[in-house]
Structure 1
Amino acid sequence: MVNSCKVDKLHNLQQELVRKVTHLLYEGWSQVRLLRSSADCGNWKDQLQSKPYEISEAIFRLSMDLAYPVQLKPDEVRKSFFGQTESDFQKFTLMYWENSPYLYRKKQSDLEGDAVFTALHNAFDLRTPDAIIESFIHGLVSCPAIASDELNINSFLHEVHDSLGAPVKYRQDVRVVRTPDQTSTGSGVEEHFFDDGTVFPDAAAFVEKCKGAIKNGFSIALRGMEFRSEKIAAVASALADLFGQPSVGANIYFSPPRSQGLARHYDDHCVLVWQLLGCKKWKIWPNTRPILPRLYEPFHSLDGLVDDSGGRVEVLHEGDIMYVPRGHVHEAHTDLDEGESEVNASTNYSLHLTLAIEVEPPFEWEGFAHIALHCWLEEQELVRSPGSAKSKVEEQAPLFALLLHVAIRLLSDDEPTLRKACMATAKLPSLSNSLRSSHRSIFADILDKIGSNNNLKDALRSIELAVKARNDEPFQWMSWLRHLPQQHGRRRIDFSDVLGRLEELIDMFSSDRERASSDFADFRSSFCGCAVYDDARREFEALLVMYRTARTRYAKGMLALHGKHGG
């Protein structure tokens, strides 16, 4: 009954009852998993062949809306990561955010009173290297990917109903990797301990293999810690609120002495690195590109990007936090110089947590511009006199808006501001009025750039090529716009399938290009002169809530499959 109904129907269930039932389901599911991995009980295996996934789906569904007791406020996390005063975070945002690396060194006395660090530190058994591995590897299940713009949890469950609670999968969930000869010229080549796609149904055997890998110089990188640890989930959620983003990812890295795990690389997201145990030396190069890398886009070659003799070098000690902006090439290893590490067997190993602030496309300033255009167009429909006939230009407005969406996208390829994260709905400290006022200034500057930019020919050319080839793949980036409300008074644009409307647009320009170009220029000028920041911000916040709701439900479901049932 739980698995066959829509998830919204589960809202009316009493939470305390749900917790008890979920706990019982988890106990039963654990026993079924043991039976399936056993060499005995052949008859039972046949009978239980489909049961584990049915039980795990029920656990996931029941847990999605439970209130979790482990919660942190954005201000608590802000103080722990950036300093006690509000001006510390304001300084970080204005000087370092998406611009340059930042290091926050913590004194031992500061760590003792830091509840966030203490909670994370206590989440692992730090007595021995083997104990550390067991504390974060034991009992794992796979965390299947959810599409970045998938806000319907029913659709996600339909896709993965027969794989929820499956064993971890190599690369998707975990990597066991080393980069030998890290001191030689060049970035080195990664070696992996397991083959791509390997699954680990025998959890105990997997743990033992990881222990052996560590002894041979491999590092363990486990993804999705925000789905596996309620303490890390609380930190990630508070950071997402602080920066006004849908979610923050979390990975844990455990490295042996004199080793390098991942090869030199850059990320398409910003990271906050928190050293939980031991020391690690980092080398970071400046970002030579003016445009920040966009999430999910292909990575560029590192050739010519870095000079081996250059780069900033920092050694992180226990409690230190370092920020690395997206696009900055970096590498890290535990091959420290004499005097850089304490003489202690446990601290010769390094354990650090990375928190990835992934800026999804709707939540860049480019996304804010698209939302502003959408809101302005909807407002034009509302202010028109009821029952009055639409003019030809009004009928063409949705097509002009579609064209302007494409033009804004092309502008973002060369305009650095549009690629930056929009923090218009970030839960900033109360005194950060200068940060809030800067958002209005940025928006006004973006409107000026859109109004003065003359890339109509480029936008039309890209549309013509797509229409001619009957291929709308180059415009799939705008599919997230389908989540924004549209008035019923006009022909709706299906942003998941825009090819037909793009074809109408090309026909309109083909019949009278000069007139259409003039009308489009007027349309663009009206938008840039009349778009309202507060309207866009409200819609931006509503979209953020939708994204956050879907991500939070997914996270709660996955935490329950790791034995965290909401207390």
Structure 2
Amino acid sequence: MNRSGKRKRRKERGDEAADDDASPSSASFDRHVFPVLLAAAQTTSQNRNSCSPAALAARLLRRVLSRPRQMLSPLPDSLVALLPRLLSTSCSSVAALSCEVLGAAALRSMEAGEVLASDSCIASGLARALGSRSQRVTEAACNSIMDLSASSVGRERLAGSPVLPRILYVFSQVESIREFVDSRTTKYPKRDTEANKIFYLITDTVVLLVNSCKLDKLQSIQKELVRTALSLLHKVWKKVQLLRSSADCNNGKNQLQSREYEICKAIFRLSIDLASPTCLEPDVVRESIFGQTESSFENFVLAYWERSPNLYRRKQNTRNDDPVFAALHSAFNLGAAPDAIIESFMEGLVSCPAIASDELDINSFLQEVHDSLGDAIMYRQDIRVLRTQDLSDQTSRGCVMEEHFFDDGTVFLDEDTFTKKCKHSFKNGYSIALRGMEFRFAKVAAIASALADLFGQPSVGANIYFSPARSQGLARHYDDHCVLVWQLLGCKKWMIWPNPKPLLPRLYEPFDPLDGTLEDNSGRVEVLHEGDMMYIPRGYVHEAHTDVGEPQINAHGGYSLHLTLAIEVEPPFEWEGFAHIALHCWVEKQKLGGSQFDKSSAKKETSLFAIVLHVAIRLLSSNDPIFRKACMVAAKLPSPSACATAHLKALRSSQRSTFDEIIRNIEKNCSFKEALESIKLAVQEKNDEHFQWMSWLRHLPQEGDADLRIDFCNILEALEELVEAFSSDPEQALVGFTGFKSRFCRCVVYEYEDACGSFETLLQMYRTTRNQYMRGMLALHGAHVS
């Protein structure tokens, strides 16, 4: 009787019996639960009848979620196989509850979460759930993504799936996001409405996935979708900054959980593969700066480059027809009063942290800057406000101390207050010098990028200098890079002294102090008028001030604004660098062929001799000026026409002649003993500081056995091995090195498939990373905001 009664009651319970069997760990799952869920997945009906498949499935999924968490791990394979269909069903309750089951399983076990996140079918189902018209489903899908992203593996898998483009699309379509960024209030919404909550959740999901996605996956997302999302994300970031500075801001639990630097990182990463908003071909920039004829640039390189200053005058009636000059003139509102000009290049500035000169992985840079990305600008790193007084007293001293308006390291959190102080300083004789203009203004970036292509260098920097009447900003000095000074507004008087030293200064090396022997009458004096450009080679001492001595020139109240374009020659792209690349390429070819190198010992000896010759070349370059000049074998020259062919051939012939001269110098003057002594000293002192310059060689490919490769980032180990190998018989080592050097100098090839090709490949690697950095910083400055 009791047994019969139990049977009867169980029968009457009907679907509740199925609920009891709904535990994913139950052996009866496939018999009782799976058919109901499958039916719900197949139906398109929104029937709310309690007996409909969708209603039964919803009850089953709720019962699954109500079970202890250990019952969710692992999910039955049949349920995992069914989840993609459940996530895509038109029944919002079933789809939302399926998302919750996914999230609960991920929270129960990180391993299970990684498996689920790696399932491409589940990822596609989540992507479809994100596109649901039901806000409940979208919210549940976002929460599920967050739960599945608890581990780095889960985040990376979902970020590389269809989930990311779908959430970007949803982000760009949610109306509450546009309402949030367009509202003028400086207060967070007082009520946590459903619209606010879904906005916060979608934004947090976007930031998380973008920052977890590999760059090659980001590059595959439709560019127009990226631009739209990028524009909105930038506005969200700016609104968050505004709210943060508001006294009313209190960090409630339902507000954005993404930190500002995380939003910045997402903006940066989304933008690094986008084409620049403004693009100028190298030929357009070349014609604007050096002249209309095709031979003008080659003429400049042969006659002036790294040799002597040169002035390019612009005719008053033609400068406005120049597209490059016109682009710059419009970028900074130069037709306005000084206060408005200052506002035009101060608005929305963020700090541009330095990127290592040999950094070729943008992710490493992002990891290095971490939570400082998007910070307010910092004094000296980004901007200087300074003046140099007592102009007439500089002759005897050579250089005077500059007076700065702000203290070193000052961070300007309040943009309006900072701008007001800059305006005040300008009225009191201080010049404003803003660095990194190529990272802040798209039009400047386009010019800098084109110039870098033209000169065959990784990058060109750009600074702007705004000086009041009768003033001098920077004191008398010289630079470690060549500059093109472009006068954009007003006029300025320049004095330039010849470079008395045969060796050009190098980037990143300490400056020699000015000796105070420069006389005013020994320098060249030029007054730059609006549109004029002056080329000043690195190492040439110069100063500039707005007291031009021409009273009739007062169109702009005596103040001046000019842009400097700095052609920075990185160490690998000097002729010394080319010599190292040529040596490396030749050695790699020797390792791969030739019977005399078949033995491992011979290959090892070759590698060690190569290190000694690298060091000897470095020592030679410290005294031979030719090694410090820029190598321009990768310069993007114009297509030769009949009239320009002679100049083009002369330029190419000049590059080849320089290479031949360098090889002769290496064969004649590279000293084995001098190089070995410097290596021994480093090994003895356990200090490889003087060999850190070799670190960029790690970017050149090394073939052959792994144990024969040189770790240029940990060069001390290789130096110790070298000293040990050559100490037993130094005379024999000298003979071997002499033969090695002679073979190199006799056989090295100046051809594309050898040194020239490797040089261009390395240059492209440098340029890729620099361009990624530039695009990222431009995006933080709003370059992609529509």
TM bucket normalised to smaller: over 0.9
Which residue of structure 2 lines up, in the alignment, with residue 155 of structure 1? 364
How much has 1:161 moved relative to structure 2? 2.2
Which residue of structure 1 lines up, in the alignment, with residue 760 of structure 2? 541
Which residue of structure 1 lines up, in the alignment, with residue 38 of structure 2? none
**2:689 is equivalent to residue 473 of structure 1:** yes
Cα distance 1:454–1:228, how it changes in 2: closer, same or farther (>3 A)? closer
How much has 1:109 moved relative to structure 2? 2.0
**2:337 is equivalent to residue 128 of structure 1:** yes
Which residue of structure 1 lines up, in the alignment, with residue 547 of structure 2? 335
**2:735 is equivalent to residue 518 of structure 1:** yes
Alpha-carbon distance in structure 2 between the residues aligned to 1:448 and 1:436: 19
Cα distance 1:557–1:391, how it changes in 2: closer, same or farther (>3 A)? closer
Which residue of structure 2 lines up, in the alignment, with residue 2 of structure 1? 210
CA contact (8 A) 2:265 2:373 kept: yes
Q: Sequence identity of aligned pairs in percent?
A: 66
Q: Secondary structure at the match of 1:159?
A: helix
Which residue of structure 2 lines up, in the alignment, with residue 417 of structure 1? 626
Which residue of structure 2 lines up, in the alignment, with residue 293 of structure 1? 505
Alpha-carbon distance in structure 2 between the residues aligned to 1:46 and 1:97: 60
Which residue of structure 2 lines up, in the alignment, with residue 488 of structure 1? 704
Cα distance 1:45–1:540, how it changes in 2: closer, same or farther (>3 A)? farther
Which residue of structure 1 lines up, in the alignment, with residue 769 of structure 2? 550
Which of structures 1 and 2 has the bigger CA Rg? 2
After superposition, residues 67-216 of structure 1 pair within 5 angstroms as 67-126=275-334, 127-185=336-394, 186=397, 187-216=399-428
Alpha-carbon distance in structure 2 between the residues aligned to 1:503 and 1:102: 49
Alpha-carbon distance in structure 2 between the residues aligned to 1:343 and 1:69: 36
Alpha-carbon distance in structure 2 between the residues aligned to 1:163 and 1:454: 45
CA contact (8 A) 1:283 1:313 kept: yes
How much has 1:309 moved relative to structure 2? 3.5
How much has 1:391 moved relative to structure 2? 6.5
Structure 2: segments with no counterpart, 5+ residues: 1-208
- Give the TM-score of the pair, scaled to structure 2: 0.70
**2:538 counterpart (300, 322, 326):** 326
**1:276 counterpart (465, 483, 488):** 488
**2:679 is equivalent to residue 463 of structure 1:** yes
Q: Deviations over 1:302-329 (max 9, x none)?
A: 0145223321111000000000000001
> Residue type matched to 1:552 in 2?
N
> Residue type matched to 2:554 in 1?
V
**1:227 counterpart (416, 439, 446):** 439
Q: Deviations over 1:432-460 (max 9, x none)?
A: 12111221111111101000014222211
Which residue of structure 1 lines up, in the alignment, with residue 651 of structure 2? 435
Alpha-carbon distance in structure 2 between the residues aligned to 1:424 and 1:483: 19
133-142 or 308-317, which moves further after superposition?
308-317
211-220 or 490-499, which moves further after superposition?
490-499
> Residue type matched to 1:360 in 2?
E
**2:782 counterpart (560, 563, 566):** 563
283-292 or 106-115, which moves further after superposition?
106-115
CA contact (8 A) 1:68 1:566 kept: no
**1:506 counterpart (723, 737, 740):** 723
CA contact (8 A) 2:617 2:670 kept: no
Q: Secondary structure at the match of 1:86?
A: coil
CA contact (8 A) 2:672 2:737 kept: no
Which residue of structure 2 lines up, in the alignment, with residue 451 of structure 1? 667
How much has 1:46 moved relative to structure 2? 11
**1:263 counterpart (454, 463, 475):** 475
**1:374 counterpart (584, 591, 599):** 584
> Residue type matched to 2:669 in 1?
N
CA contact (8 A) 1:100 1:325 kept: yes
CA contact (8 A) 1:291 1:415 kept: yes
> Residue type matched to 1:58 in 2?
A
Structure 1: segments with no counterpart, 5+ residues: none
393-402 or 226-235, which moves further after superposition?
393-402
How much has 1:47 moved relative to structure 2? 6.2
Q: Secondary structure at the match of 2:305?
A: coil
452-461 or 174-183, which moves further after superposition?
452-461
CA contact (8 A) 1:279 1:348 kept: yes
CA contact (8 A) 2:591 2:704 kept: no
CA contact (8 A) 1:264 1:331 kept: yes
CA root-mean-square deviation: 1.7
Alpha-carbon distance in structure 1 between the residues aligned to 2:514 and 2:467: 24
**2:13 is equivalent to residue 13 of structure 1:** no
How much has 1:86 moved relative to structure 2? 2.1
Alpha-carbon distance in structure 2 between the residues aligned to 1:2 and 1:320: 45
Which residue of structure 2 lines up, in the alignment, with residue 361 of structure 1? 571
CA contact (8 A) 1:36 1:45 kept: no
- Give the total of aligned pairs: 564
CA contact (8 A) 1:249 1:356 kept: yes
Alpha-carbon distance in structure 2 between the residues aligned to 1:523 and 1:561: 52
Which residue of structure 2 lines up, in the alignment, with residue 530 of structure 1? 747
> Residue type matched to 2:776 in 1?
G
How much has 1:371 moved relative to structure 2? 0.1
Alpha-carbon distance in structure 1 between the residues aligned to 2:499 and 2:517: 8
Q: Deviations over 1:183-235 (max 9, x none)?
A: 21333210111100000111111111100010010000000000001000000
> Residue type matched to 1:250 in 2?
A
**2:466 is equivalent to residue 254 of structure 1:** yes
